């Protein structure tokens, strides 16, 4: 299967060896991609382990786990990168709404392992035309693909039942 990070490689030749800690990320960009894939599979411990200051509280862990698990991760777009910086946009549906997370992250190599340090987050609004090709790469138009998942998150369904 294609890797979650949309590198064009298969999962087993891209982020899987990093997530299963068989290999270390060869670059900050590779680490960033693997962290996106970790969100897709809900591997919050990997996110914690690859963060430079990973003294996360239980509440922070739970918040990130909820975000990862309750989002439909559609697409990762790398905007720019250098040795220690990656700027990207992650597209996802959360709470029945289309979102884009636009972030410029900085990384540091500690004991030969790349770690995420911190980031600047840009407040981008996202909207897609219904007849555009869907951002998730399915080849379908947005209206026939991810648009249908809007307002149908677990929470949306639960609210409708109530």
Q: Total binding residues for Zn ion by CB under 5 A?
A: 11
Closer residue to Zn ion in complex, CB, 23/66? 23
77 to 136, contacts with Zn ion by CB under 5 A?
134, 136
Among 138, 144, 152, 159, contact with Zn ion (rule: CB under 5 A)? 138
6 is an interface residue for Zn ion by CB under 5 A: no
Q: CA geometry: angle at 36 spanning 22 and 8, to 5°?
A: 80
Give the C-alpha separation, 71 to 78, whole Å.
Answer: 19
38 is an interface residue for Zn ion by CB under 5 A: no
Closer residue to Zn ion in complex, CB, 41/61? 41
Q: Tell me the helix, strand and coil percentages in the chain, rounded to 5.
A: 35, 30, 35
19 is an interface residue for Zn ion by CB under 5 A: no
31 is an interface residue for Zn ion by CB under 5 A: no
Closer residue to Zn ion in complex, CB, 47/145? 145
Give the C-alpha separation, 53 to 55, whole Å.
Answer: 6
15 is an interface residue for Zn ion by CB under 5 A: yes
146 is an interface residue for Zn ion by CB under 5 A: yes
Strand, helix or coil for residue 22 = coil
Give the C-alpha separation, 109 to 84, whole Å.
Answer: 8
Which residues have a Cβ under 8 Å from the Cβ of 138 and sit 6 or more positions away? 145, 146
18 is an interface residue for Zn ion by CB under 5 A: no
50 is an interface residue for Zn ion by CB under 5 A: no
Give the C-alpha separation, 110 to 9, whole Å.
Answer: 27
Residues at the contact surface with Zn ion, assessed by CB under 5 A = 3, 5, 7, 14-15, 33, 134, 136, 138, 145-146
């Amino acid at each position: 299967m294609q890797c979650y990070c949309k590198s064009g490689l298969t999962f087993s030749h891209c982020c899987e060896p990093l997530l299963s800690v068989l290999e270390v990320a060869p670059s900050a960009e590779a680490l960033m991609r693997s962290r996106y894939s970790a969100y897709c599979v809900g591997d919050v411990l990997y996110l914690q382990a690859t963060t430079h200051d990973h003294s996360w509280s239980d509440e922070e862990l739970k918040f990130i786990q909820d975000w990862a698990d309750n989002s439909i991760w559609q697409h990762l777009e790398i905007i720019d990168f250098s040795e220690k910086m990656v700027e990207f946009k992650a597209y996802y549906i959360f709470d029945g709404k289309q979102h884009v997370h636009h972030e410029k992250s900085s990384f540091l190599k500690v004991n030969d392992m790349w770690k995420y340090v911190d980031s600047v987050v840009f407040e981008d609004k996202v909207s897609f035309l219904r007849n555009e090709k869907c951002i998730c790469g399915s080849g379908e138009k947005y209206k026939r693909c991810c648009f249908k998942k809007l307002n149908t998150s677990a929470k949306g369904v639960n609210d409708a039942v109530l």
